A and B are shown apart, each in its own frame.
Chain A
Amino acid sequence: EAQVTQNPRYLITVTGKKLTVTCSQNMNHEYMSWYRQDPGLGLRQIYYSMNVEVTDKGDVPEGYKVSRKEKRNFPLILESPSPNQTSLYFCASSLGTNPTGELFFGEGSRLTVL
């Protein structure tokens, strides 16, 4: 089954404790991206990657890091989480290095930073 898998789905952590949210897709997609969703703000893009070793900032990259060492994986790293990073996070992928088609989304990771 074609899917984007995120882990963990739910996480409560404390300020400053580094964490990684993993994202993996099995569709051989070149394009992968991370979004955060906050009430009233819709989805905002954090980082995206057009292919292995190619990443770029989205609209809200501050406080986040990403890496793309393999085509299927695109982890989101919070080096020192803060309460304003409490949010619902989504990973998505799409076919092509210059995608014009649909995005496939994971089920989301709800992060709470105390």
Chain B
Amino acid sequence: SQQGEEDPQALSIQEGENATMNCSYKTSINNLQWYRQNSGRGLVHLILIRSNEREKHSGRLRVTLDTSKKSSSLLITASRAADTASYFCATGPNTGNQFYFGTGTSLTVIP
């Protein structure tokens, strides 16, 4: 399987704290994306980082990419209860125009 993996699988923090989740992947990439999924809902795109970028910011989100280690991290600063969701990284498309998703990190932000 070419799926990536997120770490940790689950994370519980207090409101106002920062949340960091990591993603490892297996193949070379053109870009890496992070998605958010509220319970049972469709995934929503958060941010895309290209393979020639090392860091990218969007509002309270900061994404880093280390292609030598085949890993990425998503940092959510000053978390809010509304950030409670599952977060997935996705790579692709590579050969065959496929996207590969990680197994997700379940984030709980306690008010």
Q: Which B residues between 4 and 54 are near A, CB-CB below 8 angstroms?
A: 30-31, 33, 35, 40-45, 48
Please state if A101 and B48 are interface contacts (CB–CB under 8 Å). Answer: yes
Please state if B45 and A102 are interface contacts (CB–CB under 8 Å). Answer: yes
Q: What residues on B are CB-neighbors of A56 within 8 Å?
A: 96-97
Please state if A59 and B42 are interface contacts (CB–CB under 8 Å). Answer: no
If the complex has contacts A42-B3, A42-B104, are A105 and B97 also in contact, measured as CB distance less than 8 A? no
Q: Which of A50, A103, A104 contacts B90 (CB 8 A)?
A: A103
Chain B interface size band reads 20 to 34
If the complex has contacts A42-B103, A99-B93, are A104 and B98 also in contact, measured as CB distance less than 8 A? no
Q: Which of B3, B40, B99 contacts A108 (CB 8 A)?
A: B40
**A74 within 8 Å of B (CB atoms):** no
Q: Which of B1, B33, B40 contacts A102 (CB 8 A)?
A: B33
Closest 4 CB pairs of A and B: A105-B42, A102-B45, A43-B101, A42-B103
Sample 14 A-B pairs with CB under 8 A, ordered by A number: A41-B103, A42-B88, A42-B102, A42-B103, A43-B88, A48-B97, A59-B2, A59-B98, A90-B42, A98-B97, A103-B35, A103-B43, A105-B35, A105-B43
Contacts A43-B101, A56-B96 known; 7 new A-B pairs at CB < 8 A:
A42-B3, A45-B98, A90-B42, A98-B97, A101-B48, A102-B33, A108-B41
